[in-house]
Amino acid sequence: MKAHLTELLFLAVKQITDCNDSSIIVFERPKIINHGDFSTNICLVLSKKLKKSPRALAAMILEKIPTSDLISNIEIAGAGFLNFFLSSKANNKIINDILNSKDSYGKNKTGNNKKIQIEFVSANPTGPLHVGHGRGAAIGDCLARLFETSGWVVTREFYYNDAGEQINNLMHSVKASCQKIPTDDPRFPTDGYHGEYINEIAKAFLSMKTIDCQGVKIKASGKIEDTKSIQEFSIAYLRKEQDLDLIAFKTKFDVYSLESSFYKDGKVEKVVDSLIKEGHTYEKDGALWLKTTNFGDDKDRVMKKTDGTYTYFIPDVTYHLDKWERGFKKVINEQGADHHSTISRVRAGLQGLNKNIPKDWPEYVLHQMITVIKGNKEVKISKRAGSYLTLRELIDEVGCDATRYFLAARRPDSQLVFDIDLAKSQNNDNPVYYIQYAHARISKVLEQWGGDISTLKLDESFIFDSNVELKLIKSISIYPEIVLQATNELAPHQIANFLKECAADLHSYYNNSKFLVEDEKIKMARLSLINSTKYVLKNGLQLLGIEAPPQM
């Protein structure tokens, strides 16, 4: 509809100006229904150039806009805005388009089957997933669903930092537990992990259990001095647990990459050698440094420490070079806000490789911290993890649907308060319940009708005239625009907000109307409208990975 209105308006604009770019025409959706279905400020934009007042210009343009049976009226408003009101035919066309498209309504082809890789969660295999990982999983998975809906070929990827000091700390922690050393004992590793899960891993190791992780079987040797087996088994044990948590969260991945693989394949060494060869390194105080200031960083960074080990961002550069060489020209990393400092370092390392990688590649979406409250008190401690609340505990407490919605419903860069009591409530204060109840209400009416839903189609001559009907039609009509906008702005929370508003419009219509009336024409029209709304709610919930139940 925007494209149609833009075409009509541009035909008028070209008659009074030499402008050849239709992109200057921008349509907005007025929030107040009396202000029309679409509004544009084009007259204010052109007034200075044409040396005419916006309202005078609006009158000139209004005379030259071609007629359309999809427009019932155009009004000049305020300082010179043009407000467009859609005709009954246009409204009916929207409803029938949805009924014809069904589950495909809202999809677009802007991605043109181009490849995109989205990396998210990427938790270290040193403990259970916490609620911060859950927020990353919710946002990352919703982004993947949005890009798929917008015609992209999406690869979901999980990167395991299964090398480095934190893995050594995990191994020493499990070994100490195998030796029955309490966590408060001075002999327990200073930087060790203290959660109950460490004791669980130790018990499984001593029992010589076998873990099947991503098709690879890892059997514990059961020997306390076999640190290599302890390390391999501990990583596999926690990876398996994280996989099960993500399955419970309805989150899948296409590719799992291991940091350790880049060391084994010699790729980390090759990256370092390339940076040295390109002249972007120097030695100082026994360490090897990267000249990241050449690429916009505030100071140079150590690549190789005095003990011969690499700092964490070097394998990250190697991993992202691997992404580039796999053909991903568009990459999005969804990570916690604590990763902010790594962005400039990774990009600097990639620039130093001289591979024609864009300066702003990859893209990042960083999410802020989460505060979980229950009974108006903050919940911090997990019985298993010890120092943090696990994602699985939150899912078990409030359910997958509520967890996903609440973790995705705010802008990623805003801090989030997760109210467990609200998420568990079965009333309209809970947005998840409110949206799902709207879908269930429609399902119930259609069930009571008992007809063949696939035959529902709106008579083009029918006129919806009540404000609650027009408001609902307007709401469901903007869904494709919201999908595209949320995709382009990397903002899945926009889908959550839209669904809440759409559900409110449905509930208002439901509370003010009867559907199974004697007048067949009115009945079929109203059933067509709510059935089209049902598809919109279902499709939107699917983008968030949430069920659309037929009953509550």
pLDDT at 517: 96
Give the Cα separation of 160 and 261 in Å (integer).
10
pLDDT at 127: 93
pLDDT at 396: 95
pLDDT in tens, 525-549: 999 999 999 999 999 999 999 999 9
The residues with which 155 forms a beta bridge, in sequence order, are 117
* Overall residue count recorded for the chain in this entry: 552
pLDDT (mean) for 374-398: 86
Q: Which of 367, 304, 378, 309 is nearest to 340 (CA)?
A: 367
Q: Which of 48, 28, 51, 52 is nearest to 40 (CA)?
A: 28
CB 246 within 8 A of CB 148: no
CB 224 within 8 A of CB 178: yes
In the chain, DSSP finds a helix count (H) and a strand count (E) of: 20, 17
pLDDT (mean) for 379-406: 88
Residue 508 φ then ψ, to 5°: -65, -45
CB 205 within 8 A of CB 233: yes
Per CATH, the number for 120-263+368-423 is 3.40.50.620
The residues with which 302 forms a beta bridge, in sequence order, are 289
Burial class from Cβ neighbours inside 10 Å (0-12, 13-18, 19+) for residue 71 reads buried
Q: H-helix or E-strand containing 465?
A: none
pLDDT at 460: 82
Domain boundaries, the chain: 2-86, 120-263+368-423, 428-543
pLDDT at 383: 64
Residue 170 φ then ψ, to 5°: -65, -45
Reduced to 3 states, what is the DSSP secondary structure of residue 334?
Answer: strand
Give the Cα separation of 155 and 152 in Å (integer).
10
The pair of three-digit structure tokens given for residue 326, joined into one six-digit string: 């796999």
**Per the CATH hierarchy, to which homologous superfamily does domain 2-86 belong?**
Arginyl tRNA synthetase N-terminal domain (3.30.1360.70)
Q: In 249-339, where does DSSP find H-type helix?
A: 259-264, 267-277, 313-325
pLDDT (mean) for 38-62: 94
Give the Cα separation of 44 and 468 in Å (integer).
32
DSSP-assigned states of every residue in 158-192: EEE--SSHHHHHHHHHHHHHHTT--TTSTTS-TT-
pLDDT (mean) for 399-423: 97
Reduced to 3 states, what is the DSSP secondary structure of residue 291?
Answer: coil
CB 490 within 8 A of CB 413: no
CB 151 within 8 A of CB 110: yes
The pair of three-digit structure tokens given for residue 73, joined into one six-digit string: 């009226």
Give the Cα separation of 504 and 533 in Å (integer).
12
Say yes or no to pLDDT of 237 above 70.
yes
The pair of three-digit structure tokens given for residue 294, joined into one six-digit string: 């050449």
> What's the pLDDT band for 20 if we cut at 50, 70, 90?
confident
Give the Cα separation of 277 and 390 in Å (integer).
45
Give the Cα separation of 1 and 286 in Å (integer).
65
Q: What is the fold, at CATH topology level, of the domain defined by 428-543? A: Isoleucyl-tRNA Synthetase; Domain 1 (1.10.730)
Q: CA Rg, the chain, in Å?
A: 29
CB 313 within 8 A of CB 341: no
Print burial letters for 43-66: b (CB count within 10 Å at least 16), e (below 16): bbbbbeeeebebbebbeebeeebe
pLDDT in tens, 139-166: 999 999 999 999 999 999 999 999 888 9
Give the Cα separation of 123 and 335 in Å (integer).
10
pLDDT in tens, 78-94: 999 999 999 999 999 99
pLDDT, the chain, mean:
95
Beta strands in 411-533 (DSSP E): 416-419
pLDDT in tens, 457-473: 998 889 998 999 999 99
SS (H, E, C) 347-376: HHHHHHCCCCCCCCCCEEEEECCEEEEECC
Q: Which of 538, 175, 124 is nearest to 312 (CA)?
A: 124
Say yes or no to pLDDT of 247 above 70.
yes
